[in-house]
Amino acid sequence: MIYDEPKFLPGGDRFIEMELGDELNFDLNFLVHSLSAKIREAEIAGLIELLPNMASIVISYDPDLISFADLKSEILSHYRNMGSLEDMELLSPIYYIPVLYCDHVTRACWEDYCAKITEKEYDSDILVKLNDLDGYAQLARIHSGTEYWVAALGFYPGLASLIALDPRCRLTAPKYNPPRTWTAKGTIGYGGSVTCVYPANTPGGYQMIGHTPVPVCDIEQSLPAFKQDLALLRPGDRVRFFPVGREEYDYIESRVTAGDYVHNVAHYAKFSIRAYHEWLGTLDMKERF
Amino acid sequence: MKFDQPKYLPGGDHFILVQFGDDASIDLNFMALGLTAALKEDATKGVVDTNPSYNSLIVEYESDDISYADLKIELARLISGLGSVEDLELESRLAYLPAMYLDPWTRDCVADYSEKIAPRDYDPDFVAEVNGFEDAKQLARIHSGTEHWVVAVCSTPGLPLMRALDPRCAITSPKYNPPRTWTTLGAIGVGGLSSSIYTTPGPGGYNLIGRTPVPLWDPQQRLPVFKDRVVLLDAADRVKFVPIGEEEFEYIEARVADGSYEFNITAYQRFSVGAYKKWVASLNQDGRF
Amino acid sequence: MALNIDVIKAGLETSVQDFPGRYGFWEQGFPPSGPFDMWSFRLANILVGNAPEAAGLECQFMGPTLKFSDDCVIAFTGAEMNATLDGETFPMWESVAVAAGQTLACGFASVGARAYLAVSGGIEVPQVLGARATFHMAGVGGLEGHALKDGQSIAVNGGAGVPGRKVKQDCRPKIANGKQWQIEVVQGPNDDWIAEEGIERFLESEWKLQARSNRTGYRLEGPEWIFADKASSKGPEHGEHPSNILDHGYPVGSINLCGQTPIILVNDAPSAGGFINPFTVPSAAFWKLAQSKPNDIYRFNRVSVEEAQEMRRGIDGLCVEDSIE
């Protein structure tokens, strides 16, 4: 639920966790990011950084410049002045990311895990069974059949938590137990009801359903998309995956290696909450891609 | 060129043509579609129907309800209410349409023309060469790399006239001369600056580069998406082609045939012309997909 | 005059850090990094005439062996690493002139765990995302993104340090070898997920620092946690285990409960995740974490937000020129 009164919880001497609600709810997440944008705009003296997530914002502050109580009341007044959620709109770029589903890279990673850590069923088989799908083709069709909302960033630089905007495309997946010691950069992961692109070679716990040759984070900033920022995605952005075959995958990989790959992004659409709610109302929830 | 003041031209006893300029600048189409939306919102008495095109809008009216002179005044009022083109925000659905590029069916169609009417190269090779692309595969990559703006739905039922929104994906090509006598249903064609999808198997002049298995209109209103409408797309909608292989094509074709195909359309975005112009200005024109 | 420092032996994990570290990119998943013991670090800089923020070295458990290409003034603070300069005992908490060609060799930390080396002029590495601090896990900042390696060379800016300056005895952190530490904690943010008995048990118990601890997290070993009802009667999106919560941001210093294992999230910690944080270690206690070793025992002492803020002000007040004699 979305709380009537948000909670302001202390995190040591220079952090506040502001909890707006306690569920995975798109509206709630939209509220989190709209409020974060408002707070940023307000340039409150003493506020250092904001960390918006699914249903909460962690705020770091300098207690020499603003007290916990004053910061709380300033944020609360911005929250109260937000207006109606239905009227909110946000300019939201969409990134198109190519994916080779059931690919060789993540298969090798899964085989390595089975050999070295513990036997487990192939990740895509787990998703197919658990979500009652026809097979790998339908898994790819459903995963690539919706736009995703960047609900949060964090845990690792450039790692974005993506949630499906089309509720018919929301899958569920258990996490690896124990977690993997490594995951290939570019792995498309699914855990709980969240999907992600691994920004680097890191440990991981999400099921691996595909792989993209396109980087979402680039410490060296070698590709044009990373000229200004190391990470591609921001909360409130959207992502759409599109399935490619091995040949196209190899081609894109070669362009990335050569440093002239152009990320595919369209940045001109405003996401409207009212229109989104209306659209949800038109969907036949029994239908599946 | 955009006219300083739109021109109003009579079309018989119950049409008026509003012309915003005399070239194919997409701004003129944004204005025409902005006026279309404004007329709908305003529910101007006497206005029966609208038919937008590249740079103009035909308004059909009932002269018993409004005079030609009064309609001109009403239109001028609505146009001035639109403000500058940058201020326009248009309701714009985004349809993800599966496309098999370089498919066997349009290949046969081109071969048939070559044999019976006039010898010519395979269209995708020809278009790639004219545009300086590496090969037909790059043509497919570029054509599917952008959202296409539906300028108008015209000529034959449900046929979308489309323009690439990413200027780096603009494809130009001369049309067939003489035209084809028949065209594969669902063929995706490019000609001049535009793209289109053939919604009837009739004659045609665009170069054929691929095919979609999904119908763009349905007089029987058999598929769920056509429940309340006969034609899939409206002007100001956008189309993004999703490249597929033959297997997926056949799967979708079968679902269309058995009436269970679920279209992939999102309807929660507004197209911001101002944001679009900023985005276009930010693009590195040398970058190619 | 600018100089170079050759890394003869890198030590266990020696990294370039600056104060306060990397800010402004937390939202994208970049933690602050920076010196773990910010108190000792700043005093080292002040000793050699640098701004307290200047980049220096953090040496962990076993320090490096370094050769200086030119004359300079350096200072070593924090843990006692039994350093020698060309074989002669090197004094801690004091600025010392080093001549061209001399070698500073460190040993294992005998008191404390982390030592800080400042060089007059400050270490010169490129700023990455606004800071020189090393974030090893992502290969960002510092010397080529990682801890020092044997054979590397570190550039130092020209500086004008004065030798013979000492930090007053009562202005230094009280680093000792007692193995027992009193660590301040502020209750929250997610203390309501723990039952009242669980809160009391946490505060009354001894917690042992596990060996698998580093600049990312400090793992603790201790009694079972007792969860509040809330932790088991929650929506499925929070996850199954009582310690699971819908993904949220992690304050630096928060005590992150992963199942039954509490992990104190420190300078290089992930910025977000799906576990609760019932307590937070405030900044004023970070130097104690930095100077403790595996198997040391922690007891936690609850303080209010305001008390924690006052303690931090107290430490900041010591990281100034007045602390030098």
Domain that holds residue C68: 3-166
| Structural domain contains residue A88 | no
Which range marks the domain in which residue A49 is found? Answer: 2-83
Q: Which amino acid is at C140?
A: V
Q: CB-based contact (8 Å) between A43 and chain C?
A: no
Cis omega before residue B174 (within 30°)? no
Residues of B in contact with A144 (CB under 8 A): 242
Q: What is the pLDDT of residues B150-178, one digit of tens each?
A: 999 987 888 999 999 999 999 999 999 99
Pick from C172, C324, C188, C169: nearest CA to C251: C188
Whether residue C30 and residue A219 make contact (CB cut-off 8 A), yes or no, is no
Nearest to C189 by CA among C122, C111, C250, C269: C250
Which of C266, C40, C33, C265 is CA-nearest to residue C145? C33
Task: Indicate if A131 and A247 belong to the same structural domain.
Answer: yes
Q: Tell me if C324 is assigned to some domain.
A: no
CA–CA gap between residue C286 and residue C208 (Å, rounded): 16
Q: What is the mean pLDDT of residues B24-37?
A: 95
pLDDT greater than 90 at residue A156:
no
Query: pLDDT tens for residues B103-116?
Result: 999 999 999 999 99
Domain boundary among A20, A52, A83: A83
**Exposure pattern of B17-47 as b/e (b: 16+ CB <10 Å)?**
bbbbbeeebbbbbbbbbbbbbbbeeeebebb
Rounded to whole angstroms, the Cα distance separating C94 from C76 reads 7
Is A145 in the B-facing interface, judged by CB distances under 8 Å?
yes
Put simply, the answer to whether B251 touches A137 (Cβ < 8 Å) is yes
The residue among C166, C197, C212 that closes a domain is C166
In which residue are the tokens 């002239």 written?
A260
Distance CA A289, CA A257 (A): 34
Q: Coil, helix or strand for B105?
A: helix
Residue C64 placed within a domain = yes
Query: Which of A24, A52, A83 is the C-terminal boundary of a domain?
Result: A83
- Whether residue A102 is predicted with pLDDT greater than 80 in this model: the reply is yes
Is the pTM higher than 0.80? The answer reads yes
Q: Comparing A192 with A100, which gets the higher pLDDT?
A: A100
CATH 3.40.50.300 assigned to B94-266: no
Partners of B56 in the β-ladder:
B19
pLDDT of residue A175: 86
ipTM: 0.90
Using CA atoms, how far apart are residues A94 and A266, in angstroms rounded to an integer?
A: 5
Lowest mean pLDDT among A229-233, B264-268, C279-283: A229-233
- Residue numbers in chain C where pLDDT is lower than 50: none
> Between A91, A92, A289, which is nearest B262 by CB?
A289
> How are strands ordered across the β-sheet holding A89-91?
A89-91, A269-272, B269-272, B89-91
User: Does the pLDDT of residue A228 top 80, yes or no?
Assistant: no
* Per-residue pLDDT tens over the stretch B196-211: 999 998 899 999 999 9
| Same domain membership, residue A143 and residue A123 | yes
Whether residues A195 and A253 share a domain: the answer is: yes
Task: Give the count of domains, chain A.
Answer: 2
Give CA–CA dist B280/B272, Å, rounded: 12
Domain boundaries, chain B: 2-84, 94-266
Q: Which fold has domain B2-84?
A: Gyrase A; domain 2 (3.30.1360)
Going by pLDDT thresholds of 50, 70 and 90, the confidence category of residue B285 is confident
Chain A positions in Cβ-Cβ contact with residue C272 (cut-off 8 Å): 51, 53, 152-155
Cα distance from A287 to chain B (closest Cα, Å)? 7
Count Cβ atoms within 10 A of the Cβ of residue A81 and give its class: 0-12 exposed, 13-18 middle, 19 or more buried.
exposed
pLDDT at C1: 62
Which among A12, A15, A154 is the nearest to C270, CB-wise?
A: A154
pLDDT at A40 over 80: yes
Angle between helix B26-42 and helix B68-82 axes, rounded to 10 deg: 110
A289–B279 CB contact, under 8 Å: no
Residues C147 and C195 in one domain: no
Q: How far is A245 from chain C (nearest CA, A)?
A: 30
Distance CA(C66)–CA(C84), nearest Å, equals 11
C22 and C112 in a single domain? The answer is yes
State whether C309 and A9 contact (CB < 8 Å): no
Say which of C27, C249, C251 has its CB closest to residue A12: C251
Q: How far is CA C200 from CA C187, C191, C204, C301, in A?
A: 11, 11, 6, 11
Split into its structural domains, chain C has a count of: 2
Do C228 and C194 contact (CB within 8 A), yes or no?
yes
Q: Is C134 on the interface with A (CB under 8 A)?
A: no
Residues C267 and C144: their CA atoms lie apart, in Å, by 19
- What gap in Å lies between CA C145 and CA C222, rounded to an integer? 35
At B226, phi and psi to the nearest 5?
-95, 15
Which of A14, A22, A57 lies at the smallest CB-CB distance from C249?
Answer: A57
- Please state whether at least 3 CB pairs lie below 8 Å between chains C and B: no
